[in-house]
Structure 1
Amino acid sequence: MAIHIRHADEGASEAYEINVTPFIDVMLVLLVIFMVTAPLTTVNVPVELPSSTQQPAPRPDEPVFLTVKASHDLALGEDDIAASDLSAALEKATKGNKDERIFLRADKSVDYGTLMDVMDRLRQAGYLKVALVTLQGQKAGDTP
């Protein structure tokens, strides 16, 4: 049997070890969090939306149609107008009623930026009620 007798000049020795257990615990918690949240962040979730049986809102007796042609020219009703004259033409067509709904139609070849520019002009003129007009009963890729 061996006995080690400690001398007075020997100090307590320090252990130079890193305790990795808390580090591993944190990493496992982060792994679980990422494993749970990763499937939830996908945008392309397949879902079948229900169809609506409601009829579209009735149009007013004299709707105001603003059309963006394929050439990016504007027409209010049947009359061609310049983009700079849009505010005055709408004021005349709606008799100053800013709450009247504007029906916006655009050729399908018109790019998104042009359509947003027209909608910004409508907002600057004070017309915030805008309805986008589409063909009913047809899918986006169908042609009449």
Structure 2
Amino acid sequence: MWAGQSKWSKDSEPMGEINVTPLVDVMLVLLIIFMVTAPLLTQGVNVDLPDAESPAMQQNVEPLVVTIRADGAIFMQKLPIDIKQLAPRIKAMREQKPGLPVFIRGDAKTPYGRVAEVMSLLESAGIRKVGLVTEPHR
């Protein structure tokens, strides 16, 4: 058996503390990553929503969002779509997920006729309930 001395002397005992500097460095990097990516998680196309007083809705399901820009361009989620393709695409999506909620995000400067046209197409696709997305009064 080996009966040698340990490599630690009484004056230089091992440190009993954890070095937290690397942990803090990693946490700061993660914080910066989340701060940069959080604004990118907004849903849909950037539009100036009209102001209205309404309570916030609690949803467990990711809704289908149809966005109408001020120039009349239509987007489904974030992808542009021709108005002729809107009803068939939504009908196909609703066949896959029957309870899928549908929301319309219309720019405040969108002509009312364009919003009514989209709502009419949604009704022809079998959508009876449509939510209109607004912003709270500032």
Normalised by the length of structure 2, the TM-score is: 0.54
Decide which structure has the larger Cα Rg and report it. Answer: 1
Partner AA of 2:134 in structure 1: T
- Contact 1:64–1:103 (CA under 8 A) maintained in structure 2: yes
Q: Distance in 2 between matches of 1:98 and 1:71?
A: 31
State the match for 1:110 in structure 2: 110
Amino acid at match of 1:69: R
Is the CA contact (8 Å cut-off) linking 1:72 and 1:110 kept in structure 2? yes
Distance 2:128 2:98 in 1: 8
Does the 8 Å CA contact 1:98/1:127 hold for their aligned counterparts?
Answer: no
| RMSD over equivalenced CA pairs, Å | 2.2
Kindly tell me the number of residue pairs found equivalent between the two proteins: 86
* Residue 56 of structure 1 pairs with residue 56 of structure 2: yes
Q: Is residue 105–residue 132 contact of structure 1 (8 Å, CA) maintained in 2?
A: yes
Q: 1:1-144 maps to which residues of 2 (within 5 A)?
A: 55-136=55-136, 138-139=137-138
Aligned twin of 1:28: none
TM-fit CA distance, 1:99: 4.2
Is this contact kept in 2: 1:64–1:94, CA < 8 A?
A: no
Q: Using the TM superposition, give the Cα deviation of residue 104 of structure 1 relative to its aligned residue in structure 2, in angstroms.
A: 0.5
Structure 1 portions without partners, runs of 5+? 1-50, 140-144
CA separation of 1:104/1:60 partners in 2, compared to 1, >3 Å: closer, same or farther?
A: farther
- The list of structure 1 runs, each at least 4 consecutive aligned residues, that deviate by more than 4 angstroms after superposition, is none
Whether the 8 Å contact between 2:91 and 2:126 is mirrored in structure 1 is no
Q: Which residue of 2 aligns with 1:39?
A: none
Kept in 2, the 8 Å contact 1:98–1:126? The answer is: no
SS of alignment partner, residue 131 of structure 2: strand
**Greater RCO, CA 8 A, separation 6+:** 2
Following TM superposition, by how much is the alpha carbon of 1:102 offset from its aligned partner in structure 2, in angstroms?
0.7
Structure 2: give runs of 5+ residues left out of the alignment.
1-52
